[in-house]
């Protein structure tokens, strides 16, 4: 089988890698010439365990190549971004539409087209299907169209793409069957066949469920800071109940899924999806909450920001709330950013970040931040104070002050 994958980012590239391990011929398409040249040289632009070796091996065996333009194939998979439109919260399908239009000259009867990008409910039926019908194809007879959303965790993408159950949402039952045959090349989880609109809403609701539950934890943190209760103790005690699993509060919600997908549902039914919108508003308010308590801890001085990735042990910083927090803090503080997982010329080393700093602000749960060099911190900082918004630092010397969501009420 030959597979053409449109988009070589955090989903497209791992998907391409796994098809290549199943003896498929894979063409990975991206609009970035730099990414294409690097990939063909075996240089990987995302941090994901195991992917570099797979791609290098696939290139050597001529099972994978990156390209600026598509090629004829048996299956075409669209993995391009789908941001939301800030004015109305609608799903921005422009990248998906462009990708679909781009592959039309390469399509042949019998091909399978799969949209992996997360999209709003009814998008495949109402917007994407007409693109291919206008080109002369009959969906379900000579072209098979489906929406098959990914559901993976950064840092474990390769493992989860193989083992997680997969939703296969076809425009017709035959489309679902044909798409399942494509994923059957490497997926070991259950292939759940359904219709496209069900697949679309299922994916959006998976991320909405998580966003709403995180919002509940964040709201609890705010309440506890206001009324004088240790939020972390509340969560620990409540989770002893056999049917309760409160999440941990944090600095906000990032990533290309949780911070965006709930809006796709809200935009479809704004008068009904009130809990969904309120949860988004709550999570979006956390950067202001963090900055408010930073000001209570230190009114001025230097802040060492630890981590901008939205997910620990990852270089993925898409929609990270850290950037909003940093922007706000830069108005009143000197800010030095340290993130060992991101290569950015404006970031600094651990040593430079903490030098003469008045506060370390932990915004990401990288493993490197869980066990810090406290002796160096005491020697280098003006004031040995840490505000851990991810609640990951468990043991600390008595002469270093630690704030987290368990003791903000003391400020």
Active site residues: 203, 257
Cα gap 262→267, rounded to integer Å: 9
140: alpha, beta or left? (left if phi > 0; alpha if psi -120 to 50): left
Report the relative pairing of strands 25-29 and 2-6 from DSSP bridges: parallel
Nearest CA among 251, 229, 349, 356 for reference residue 301:
356
Backbone angles phi, psi at 204, to 5 degrees: -65, -35
Backbone angles phi, psi at 98, to 5 degrees: -60, -45
Q: Tokens 């997926």 belong to which residue?
A: 187
| 3-class secondary structure per residue, 140-154 | CCCEEEEECCCCCCC
For the record, the structure tokens of 353 come out as 């970040």
Residues ≥6 apart with Cβ < 8 Å to 99: 6, 7, 78, 80
């Amino acid at each position: 089988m030959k597979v053409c994958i449109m988009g070589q980012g955090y989903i497209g590239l791992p998907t391409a890698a796994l098809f290549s391990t199943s003896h498929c011929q894979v063409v990975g398409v991206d609009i970035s010439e730099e990414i294409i040249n690097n990939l063909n040289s075996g240089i990987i632009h995302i941090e994901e365990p195991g992917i570099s070796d797979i791609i290098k091996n696939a290139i050597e065996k001529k099972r994978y190549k990156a390209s600026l333009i598509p090629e004829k194939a048996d299956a075409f998979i669209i993995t391009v971004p789908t941001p939301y439109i800030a004015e109305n919260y609608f799903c921005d399908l422009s990248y998906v539409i462009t990708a679909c239009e781009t592959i039309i000259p390469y399509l042949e009867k019998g091909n399978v087209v799969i949209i992996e990008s997360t999209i709003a409910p009814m998008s495949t039926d109402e917007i994407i299907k007409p693109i291919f019908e206008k080109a002369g194809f009959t969906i379900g007879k000579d072209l098979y169209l489906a929406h098959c959303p990914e559901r993976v965790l950064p840092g474990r993408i390769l493992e989860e793409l193989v083992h997680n159950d997969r939703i296969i949402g076809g425009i017709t039952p035959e489309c679902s069957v044909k798409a399942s045959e494509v994923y059957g090349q490497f997926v070991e989880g259950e292939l759940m066949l359904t219709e496209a609109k069900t697949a679309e809403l299922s994916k959006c609701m998976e991320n909405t469920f998580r966003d709403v539950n995180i919002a509940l934890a964040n709201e609890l943190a705010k309440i506890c800071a206001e009324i004088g209760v240790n939020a972390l103790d509340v969560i620990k005690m409540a989770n002893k109940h056999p049917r309760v699993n409160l999440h941990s509060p944090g600095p906000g919600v990032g990533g290309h899924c949780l911070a965006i997908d709930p809006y796709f549902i809200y935009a479809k039914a704004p008068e009904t999806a009130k809990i969904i919108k309120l949860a988004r508003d709550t999570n979006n308010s956390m950067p202001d909450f963090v900055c408010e308590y930073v000001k209570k801890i230190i009114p001025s001085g230097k802040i060492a920001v630890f981590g901008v990735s939205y997910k620990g042990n990852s270089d993925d910083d898409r929609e990270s709330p850290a950037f909003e927090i940093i922007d706000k803090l830069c108005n009143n503080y000197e800010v030095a950013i340290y993130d060992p997982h991101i290569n950015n010329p404006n970031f600094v080393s651990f040593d430079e970040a903490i030098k003469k700093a008045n506060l370390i602000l932990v915004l990401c749960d990288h493993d490197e931040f869980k066990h810090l060099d406290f002796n160096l911190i005491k020697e280098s900082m003006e004031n040995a104070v840490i505000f851990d918004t991810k609640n990951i630092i468990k043991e600390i010397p008595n002469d270093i002050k630690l704030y987290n969501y368990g003791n903000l009420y003391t400020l």
